[in-house]
Amino acid sequence: MTMRAGRVRAIFRKELRDYRRNRQIVVSMAVLPLVFSVYPSIELFALPASSSGVLLHKQPLVYMLAIPAIVPAVVAAYSVAGERQQGTLEPVLTTPIRAGELLLGKALAALVPSLAVSYGVLGVFVVAIERFAQPPVASALLTGPELLALVLFTPLVAALAIWVGVAISTRSSDPRVATQLSVLASAPLIAVTTVISTGGFHVTLGLAIGLGAALLLVDSLGWRVVSPMLDRERLITGTRS
Amino acid sequence: MAEVSRVTFNLPPHLLAALVPLLVLLVALDVYCLVDLARARSMGGAAKLAWAVVIVFVSAPLGALLYLFLGRDRGRGRPAAPAAWPGRPDVGADGDARHAGARQAPGDRRPTVTTTGLTRDYGGTGLFDVDLVVPDGSVYGLVGPNGAGKTTLLSLLAGTRRADRGTVGMRIGRSRIAVCPDVSEFDDWLTAYEAVDLAGSLVAPAADGQAVGTALTTAGLGDSAGRRVGGFSRGMVQRLGLACALVGEPELLILDEPTSALDPAGRAEMLDMVAAMRGRRTVIFSSHILADVQRIADQVGILRDGRLLYQGSTRELIDTYLQPSWLVRIAGDAAPVAAAMAGRQWATRVEPIGADTIRVDAASIEAGERGIPAVIAACGARQVSCEPAAADLESAFLALTVTGPARSR
């Protein structure tokens, strides 16, 4: 499948313009993760210095990877089904743009606010821990390797959630259904991050590299898997081809 | 069997009970997928068998989900997406006098678009065996009653629907085709310039700001380039759709009801714009307004019940269905002329319309054209005008679609 970068860029720019003009979209994306970060943060603030030893054997920061798993799911779920409902997809689909070009442009555009929100919330969380937690707790919690892993895994997890959301969006006739299914599809990712953060199993460097490589592979193949799911005729006319 | 009967579950009963709904759901999903697979028309037996194995044996519900997302009724029928012009000889006449023009490329112009046996069946309705020939540089008007298949045909040409049967041949590449739906929808927050710029980026990446401005000006939106689409009237949105279609300087322009949302002045402007494209690009447009089609289309196709009843020159169609009936206006009293005409053998009916106008029906066009001036001259009357009473596309259209037989499927 040949891909024209110009068309991908055009869709990417248009979607980004949407986020820029409608800032409430990005702001509302950040609200839920911020709210759900409050309780664990308070718990961490309340930890006595003596518990830092226990924290060293756990990886609680991995919990923050639930944010890039769930935030882009909503945006990605709307990307095709929402535009279809608005009727704004038809003029685009009547052009020679390929399904892969359209979906890649949308996926890349969804990645930008997702990363902004994920890194933003992570930044707020780190600053709050440094500021309000007991210094030994903060030191045990905010270790270099874990922070680096968070920074590196955030785009990988977000991209996976985006491709799953886009895939569901291309096949859903209603954006509300697409959103609910996409959030549901994020559940396994959230479950994995929760199990790791609560000490269910410890991620070693080798395992992290393996997981990262696997995610990278899945993400890069995402558009190839999702593109054939886009049925131009069904999206325009509502009838299956 | 004895071994099987000894298999026991160690799970507690209440947990097993909780799993029953999940089990029912998974079985239902598999059954649904299998039924859908059995009904799929597009797949061969081997493909169906392979998908059935995936659905049943790949760990539930993964196999079923794989089928739903990847295998479900894909590739139905032969794709009729625009293809390169294959260079095959044009098809001949089909033997039906009423369809005599339906498979001929009028004049010497080579066709830009041809279809052969194009069929899309929606269970009895749709489009059936359409052989379209659109000459290069022509303005081709597609008319027909509601549900005749106009939009389906245009969608098949545009490649946004797939045909069940038949082929579409295009002399030009897909990137040289532009499609304008009847009323396009655009994001409210886009400006007109941004909407056309986006279309330009998708159709013609080389299109610059000047091309965008030109397209907007051509569509009559030059002064509204910076305005957001959310504040546009329906007519302005329709113009914006046209600007988006024009920005890539297409060789083939497909317009679905291009004047449906326009006021009379806008309609006239749009029609003039489309008429001016004749010779420079090929235009195919559908319309319910026969006067519009008659005014600008040099080629016309008439659809009824998904079948192409007529295709050819608009002028020829009108001439074919011209009734031997004239409205004759006389300077002064028309009664003596009416009385004289009523006595002629060729005049089948003479009816006074007013003090100075009479309607004359003749046995044939030739008899009327020869007889009417002769009678007027014989009476010493002065003729103000003499025009055919029913020489418009509407008469021809009604003759074809109300009384004309459709081709049998």
Q: What span, in angstroms and rounded, lies between the C-alpha atoms of A204 and A208?
A: 6
Residues from chain B contacting residue A104 (CB–CB below 8 Å): none
Contacts of A208 (CB under 8 A, 6+ apart): A149, A153
Strand partners, B133: B114
Q: What span, in angstroms and rounded, lies between the C-alpha atoms of A150 and A118?
A: 10
Q: Nearest by CB to B69, which of A229, A236, A239?
A: A229
Q: In chain A, whose CA is at the least distance from the CA of B76?
A: A241
Q: Do B149 and B166 touch, CB atoms closer than 8 A?
A: no
- Give the lowest-confidence range in A56-70, A188-202, B1-15, B165-179: B1-15
A177-204: burial string, b at 16+ Cβ within 10 Å, e else: ebbbbbbebbeebbebbeebbeeeeeee
- The reported pLDDT for the residue numbered B27 is 78
Rounded to the nearest angstrom, the minimum Cα separation between B97 and chain A is 35
Comparison of pLDDT for A183 and B397, the residue scoring more: A183
Residue A190 has pLDDT above 50, yes or no: yes
- In this structure, the answer to whether residues B12 and B149 fall within a common structural domain is no
Q: What span, in angstroms and rounded, lies between the C-alpha atoms of B158 and A11?
A: 21
Q: In chain A, whose CA is at the least distance from the CA of B186?
A: A88
Q: Do B40 and B46 touch, CB atoms closer than 8 A?
A: no
Q: Nearest by CB to B158, which of A7, A21, A94?
A: A94
- In this structure, the answer to whether residues B64 and B180 fall within a common structural domain is no
Tokens of A56: 């060293």
Residue A51 has pLDDT above 90, yes or no: no
Closest CA to A92 of A7, A13, A173: A7
Percent of chain B topping pLDDT 90: 27
Comparison of pLDDT for B153 and B98, the residue scoring more: B153
Please report which confidence band the pLDDT of residue B42 belongs to, taking 50, 70 and 90 as the band edges: low
Tokens of B243: 């600007």
Residue B295 has pLDDT above 60, yes or no: yes
Quick check: A188 contacting B, CB < 8 Å? Answer: no
Total domains, chain B = 3
- The reported pLDDT for the residue numbered B397 is 73
Q: Mean per-residue pLDDT for A162-170?
A: 93
- In this structure, the answer to whether residues B202 and B287 fall within a common structural domain is yes
The SS3 call for residue A125 is helix
- Give the lowest-confidence range in A149-163, B99-113, B280-294, B389-403: B99-113
- For B58-113, the pLDDT digits (tens) are 656 667 777 776 666 543 433 344 333 332 222 222 323 233 333 344 455 688 99
CA distances from B129 to A234, B124, B189 (A): 23, 13, 43
Count of A-B CB contacts under 8 Å: 81
How many Å separate Cα A120 from the centre of its chain?
Answer: 13
| Partner-chain contact A6 B205, CB within 8 Å | yes
- The reported pLDDT for the residue numbered B104 is 42
- The reported pLDDT for the residue numbered B10 is 54
- The reported pLDDT for the residue numbered B113 is 92
Q: Nearest by CB to A96, which of B174, B185, B194?
A: B174
Strand partners, B310: B302
Please report which confidence band the pLDDT of residue B350 belongs to, taking 50, 70 and 90 as the band edges: very high
Rounded to the nearest angstrom, the minimum Cα separation between B365 and chain A is 47
Q: Mean per-residue pLDDT for B179-194?
A: 88
- Report the largest interatomic distance among the alpha carbons of chain A, rounded to a whole angstrom: 64
Q: Is residue B399 part of a domain?
A: no
Comparison of pLDDT for B93 and B246, the residue scoring more: B246
Closest CA to B127 of B84, B177, B161: B161
- In this structure, the answer to whether residues B160 and B308 fall within a common structural domain is yes
| Partner-chain contact A94 B174, CB within 8 Å | no
Domain range enclosing B361: 323-389
B252-276: burial string, b at 16+ Cβ within 10 Å, e else: bbbbbbbbbbbeeebbebbbebbee
- The reported pLDDT for the residue numbered B117 is 92
Q: What span, in angstroms and rounded, lies between the C-alpha atoms of A21 and A25?
A: 9
| Partner-chain contact B122 A97, CB within 8 Å | no
Preceding omega of B61 cis (within 30 degrees of 0): yes
Q: Nearest by CB to A90, which of B184, B187, B205?
A: B184
B176-208: burial string, b at 16+ Cβ within 10 Å, e else: bbbbbbbbbbbbeebbbbbbbbbbbbbbbeebe
Interface probe, candidates B176, B202, B284, chain A, greatest A C-beta count within 10 A? B202
- Give the lowest-confidence range in A36-40, B63-67, B176-180: B63-67
Comparison of pLDDT for B28 and A218, the residue scoring more: A218
Residues from chain B contacting residue A14 (CB–CB below 8 Å): 190, 194, 198
- Considering B71, B97, B125, which residue would you say is the last residue of a domain? B71
Please report which confidence band the pLDDT of residue A106 belongs to, taking 50, 70 and 90 as the band edges: very high
Please report which confidence band the pLDDT of residue B408 belongs to, taking 50, 70 and 90 as the band edges: very low
- The reported pLDDT for the residue numbered A223 is 80
Q: Do B246 and B195 touch, CB atoms closer than 8 A?
A: no
Quick check: A21 contacting B, CB < 8 Å? Answer: yes
Percent of chain A topping pLDDT 90: 20
Global confidence as pTM: 0.70
Q: Nearest by CB to B161, which of A11, A18, A233?
A: A233
- In this structure, the answer to whether residues B210 and B337 fall within a common structural domain is no
Residues from chain A contacting residue B73 (CB–CB below 8 Å): 240
Q: In chain A, whose CA is at the least distance from the CA of B238?
A: A91
Q: What span, in angstroms and rounded, lies between the C-alpha atoms of B396 and A49?
A: 93
Tokens of B259: 């004047």
| Partner-chain contact B201 A10, CB within 8 Å | yes
- The reported pLDDT for the residue numbered B7 is 42
Q: Mean per-residue pLDDT for B329-357?
A: 90
Q: Do A70 and A157 touch, CB atoms closer than 8 A?
A: no
Residue B405 has pLDDT above 60, yes or no: no
Quick check: A220 contacting B, CB < 8 Å? Answer: no
Residue A122 has pLDDT above 60, yes or no: yes
Q: Mean per-residue pLDDT for A58-64?
A: 81
Please report which confidence band the pLDDT of residue B28 belongs to, taking 50, 70 and 90 as the band edges: confident
- Considering B300, B318, B336, which residue would you say is the last residue of a domain? B318
| Partner-chain contact B186 A88, CB within 8 Å | yes
Rounded to the nearest angstrom, the minimum Cα separation between B157 and chain A is 11
CA distances from B114 to A151, B87, B141, B189, B317 (A): 56, 11, 15, 39, 20
Tokens of B129: 């065996």
Interior CA angle at B67 toward B61 and B71, to 5°? Answer: 175
Q: Do A239 and A233 touch, CB atoms closer than 8 A?
A: yes
- For B109-136, the pLDDT digits (tens) are 688 999 999 999 888 888 999 999 999 9
Residue B367 has pLDDT above 90, yes or no: no
Comparison of pLDDT for B275 and B8, the residue scoring more: B275
- In this structure, the answer to whether residues B31 and B123 fall within a common structural domain is no
Q: What is the CA radius of gyration of chain B?
A: 30
| Partner-chain contact B199 A91, CB within 8 Å | yes
- Considering B71, B94, B117, which residue would you say is the last residue of a domain? B71
- Beta strands B177-180 and B111-121, pairing class: unpaired
Rounded to the nearest angstrom, the minimum Cα separation between B223 and chain A is 22
ipTM of the complex: 0.78
Residues from chain B contacting residue A226 (CB–CB below 8 Å): none
Quick check: A239 contacting B, CB < 8 Å? Answer: yes
Q: Would you tell me the crossing angle of helices A99-132 and A5-21 to the nearest 10 degrees?
A: 50
Strand partners, B361: B325, B349
Residue A207 has pLDDT above 90, yes or no: no
Q: Mean per-residue pLDDT for B139-165?
A: 89
- In this structure, the answer to whether residues B172 and B207 fall within a common structural domain is yes
Quick check: A9 contacting B, CB < 8 Å? Answer: yes
Q: Nearest by CB to A233, which of B162, B177, B190?
A: B162
CATH code of residue B106: 3.40.50.300
Q: Is residue B409 part of a domain?
A: no
Rounded to the nearest angstrom, the minimum Cα separation between B245 and chain A is 9
Rounded to the nearest angstrom, the minimum Cα separation between A83 and chain B is 9
Q: Is residue B76 part of a domain?
A: no
- Give the lowest-confidence range in A105-114, B38-47, B149-158: B38-47
CATH code of residue B367: 3.30.70.920
Residues from chain B contacting residue A237 (CB–CB below 8 Å): 155, 160-161
- Give the lowest-confidence range in A98-107, B211-220, B311-320, B363-372: B311-320
Q: What rounded mean pLDDT belongs to chain B?
A: 78
- In this structure, the answer to whether residues B94 and B54 fall within a common structural domain is no
Residue A56 has pLDDT above 80, yes or no: no
- In this structure, the answer to whether residues B221 and B170 fall within a common structural domain is yes
- Residue B92 half-sphere exposure, CB side, CA atoms within 13 Å? 1
Residues from chain B contacting residue A236 (CB–CB below 8 Å): 155, 160-161
Q: What span, in angstroms and rounded, lies between the C-alpha atoms of A177 and A168?
A: 9
3-state SS, one letter per residue, for chain B: CHHHHCCCCCCCHHHHHHHHHHHHHHHHHHHHHHHHHHHCCCCCHHHHHHHHHHHHHCCCCHHHHHHHHHHCCCCCCCCCCCEECCCCCCCCCCCCHHHCCCCCCCCCCCEEEEEEEEEEECCCCEEEEECCEEECCCEEEEECCCCCCHHHHHHHHHCCCCCCEEEEEECCCHHHEEEECCCCCCCCCCEHHHHHHHHHHHHCCCCCHHHHHHHHHHCCCHHHCCCEHHHCCHHHHHHHHHHHHHCCCCCEEEEECCCCCCCHHHHHHHHHHHHHCCCCCEEEEEECCHHHHHHHCCEEEEEECCEEEEEEEHHHHHHHCCCCEEEEEEECCCHHHHHHHHCCCCEEEEEECCCCEEEEEECCHHHHHHHHHHHHHHHCCEEEEEEECCCCHHHHHHHHHHHCCCCCC
Give the residue numbers in B contacting A (CB under 8 Å), as ranges. Answer: 68-70, 73-74, 76-77, 122, 155, 158-162, 174-175, 177, 179, 181, 184-187, 189-190, 194, 198-199, 201-203, 205, 241, 244
| Partner-chain contact B201 A237, CB within 8 Å | no
| Partner-chain contact B244 A91, CB within 8 Å | yes
Residues from chain A contacting residue B68 (CB–CB below 8 Å): 171
Contacts of B108 (CB under 8 A, 6+ apart): none
Residues from chain B contacting residue A9 (CB–CB below 8 Å): 201
- In this structure, the answer to whether residues B30 and B6 fall within a common structural domain is yes
Which range, A184-188, B40-44, B211-215, has the best average confidence (pLDDT)?
Answer: B211-215
Closest CA to B115 of B159, B75, B148: B159
CA distances from A57 to A139, B147, B230, B244 (A): 13, 70, 56, 60
Q: Do B211 and B204 touch, CB atoms closer than 8 A?
A: yes
- The reported pLDDT for the residue numbered B94 is 30
- In this structure, the answer to whether residues B52 and B87 fall within a common structural domain is no
Please report which confidence band the pLDDT of residue B392 belongs to, taking 50, 70 and 90 as the band edges: low
- In this structure, the answer to whether residues B270 and B336 fall within a common structural domain is no
Q: Is residue B404 part of a domain?
A: no
Residue A238 has pLDDT above 90, yes or no: no
Residue B282 has pLDDT above 50, yes or no: yes
Residues from chain B contacting residue A4 (CB–CB below 8 Å): 205
Comparison of pLDDT for B41 and B220, the residue scoring more: B220
Tokens of B241: 């759709």
The SS3 call for residue A107 is helix
Please report which confidence band the pLDDT of residue A172 belongs to, taking 50, 70 and 90 as the band edges: confident
Contacts of B389 (CB under 8 A, 6+ apart): B323, B325, B326, B327, B359
- Beta carbons within 10 angstroms of residue A19's beta carbon: 18
